[in-house]
């Protein structure tokens, strides 16, 4: 297997994926069944967090299945983080689940993330005010406007260039992969080479909604205002600031 594909080779692979791969929500539906088979009604919040992690991991697994079919492997490596300067937009429901994940960590790790976030919001106050106020529903060039300012993601550890919440990194982070030279990402703010598997978002979100609805049907307290939280989209830093009250 060749290490770096050229852009032209990547285009051909994309065409093969489009031709041969039939998107399906089957794996996500099976995952819901598996999860509820093991559901114990004593801790719905913990169950929801496990389900969230499982669905996110499933997106990675589905991507790997496609990669195996077309014999490609990402050139993305730990410590490469040019893509962690893109604006990350998620739902309030996902932001709350990411916070629940942080709350579930051992005390020292939780404290480390808290201190990191406090410093991050202090250091980047002005850029955050400016960039996280760009209306992404109205400004077609919001990604360009955001990325040229080099504002790192709140969860990027700048000493190691790694993600502090890797296990629950949102869908845009895990579905954006490069198979060409990583130099493509180093040389351009918005490189054309990386491939986006964002089509998995629909299946992941449908499954997450189904799980939340089921838990609410059972009158469980899951800390989610539904359906509002599933339909409010915002920049990740905005949610962090409001939910964590930093
Ligand atoms: S997408 Fe680009 S910047 Fe992000 S990890 Fe992969 S090679 Fe690095
Ligand atoms: S959540 Fe993690 S992977 Fe995603 S942009 Fe932030 S630091 Fe990078």
Length of the chain: 246
Mean pLDDT, residues 185-201 taken together: 95
Tell me the two tokens of residue 105: 């960590």
The whole-angstrom separation of Cα 220 and Cα 46 is 11
Alpha carbon of 194 to ligand 1 centroid (Å): 8
Residue 44 in contact with residue 222, Cβ under 8 Å? yes
Per-residue buried b or exposed e for 15-50, using 16+ beta carbons within 10 Å of the residue's own CB: eebeeeeeeeeebbeebbeebeeebeeeebbebbbe
Q: What is the pLDDT of residues 53-109, one digit of tens each?
A: 999 999 999 999 999 999 999 999 999 999 999 999 999 999 999 999 999 999 999
Q: What is the pLDDT of residues 128-158, one digit of tens each?
A: 999 999 999 999 999 999 999 999 999 999 9
With a 6 A CB cut-off, is 171 part of the ligand 2 pocket? no
With a 6 A CB cut-off, is 189 part of the ligand 1 pocket? no
With a 6 A CB cut-off, is 153 part of the ligand 2 pocket? yes
- CA 152 to centroid of chain Cα atoms: 15
Higher-scoring residue by pLDDT: 160, 39: 160
Q: What is the pLDDT of residue 47?
A: 95
For residue 102, the ligand closest to its alpha carbon is 2
CB atoms closer than 10 angstroms to residue 97: 26
Q: How confident is the model at residue 221 (pLDDT cuts 50, 70, 90)?
A: confident
Ligand 2 test: best mutation among 97, 170, 175, 235, most atoms within 8 Å of CB? 170
With a 6 A CB cut-off, is 83 part of the ligand 1 pocket? yes
Phi, psi of 161 (to 5 degrees): 55, 40
With a 6 A CB cut-off, is 180 part of the ligand 2 pocket? no
The whole-angstrom separation of Cα 196 and Cα 17 is 12
Q: Is the pLDDT of residue 245 over 80?
A: no
Strands of the chain, DSSP E:
89-91, 156-157, 162-163, 176-177, 195-196, 233-235
- Average model confidence (pLDDT) for the chain? 95
Tell me the two tokens of residue 211: 């799980």
Atom 4 in ligand 2: residue holding the nearest Cα: 173
Q: What is the pLDDT of residue 246?
A: 72
Residue 193 in contact with residue 220, Cβ under 8 Å? no
Residue 221 in contact with residue 83, Cβ under 8 Å? no
The widest CA-to-CA distance across the chain, in whole angstroms, is 53
């Amino acid at each position: 297997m060749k290490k770096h594909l050229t852009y032209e080779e990547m285009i051909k692979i994309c065409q093969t994926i489009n031709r041969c791969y039939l998107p399906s929500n089957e794996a996500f539906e099976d995952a819901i069944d598996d999860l509820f088979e093991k559901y114990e009604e004593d801790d719905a919040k913990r169950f929801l967090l496990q389900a969230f992690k499982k669905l996110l991991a499933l997106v990675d697994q589905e991507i790997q299945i496609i990669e195996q079919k077309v014999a490609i492997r990402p050139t993305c490596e730990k410590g490469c983080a040019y893509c962690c300067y893109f604006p990350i937009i998620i739902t309030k429901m996902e932001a709350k689940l990411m916070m629940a994940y942080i709350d579930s960590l051992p005390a020292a790790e939780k404290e480390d993330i808290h201190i990191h976030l406090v410093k991050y919001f202090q250091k980047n106050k002005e850029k955050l005010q400016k960039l996280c106020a760009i209306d992404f529903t109205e400004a077609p060039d919001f990604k360009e406007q955001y990325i040229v300012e080099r504002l790192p993601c709140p969860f990027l550890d700048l000493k190691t260039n790694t993600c502090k919440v890797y296990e629950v990194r949102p869908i845009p982070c895990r579905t954006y992969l490069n198979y060409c030279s990583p130099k493509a990402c180093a040389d351009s703010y918005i490189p054309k080479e990386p491939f986006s598997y964002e089509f998995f978002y629909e299946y992941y979100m449908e499954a997450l909604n189904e799980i939340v609805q089921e838990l609410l049907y059972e009158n469980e307290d899951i800390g989610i205002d539904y359906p509002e939280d599933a339909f409010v989209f915002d920049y990740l830093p905005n949610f962090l600031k409001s939910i964590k009250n930093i």
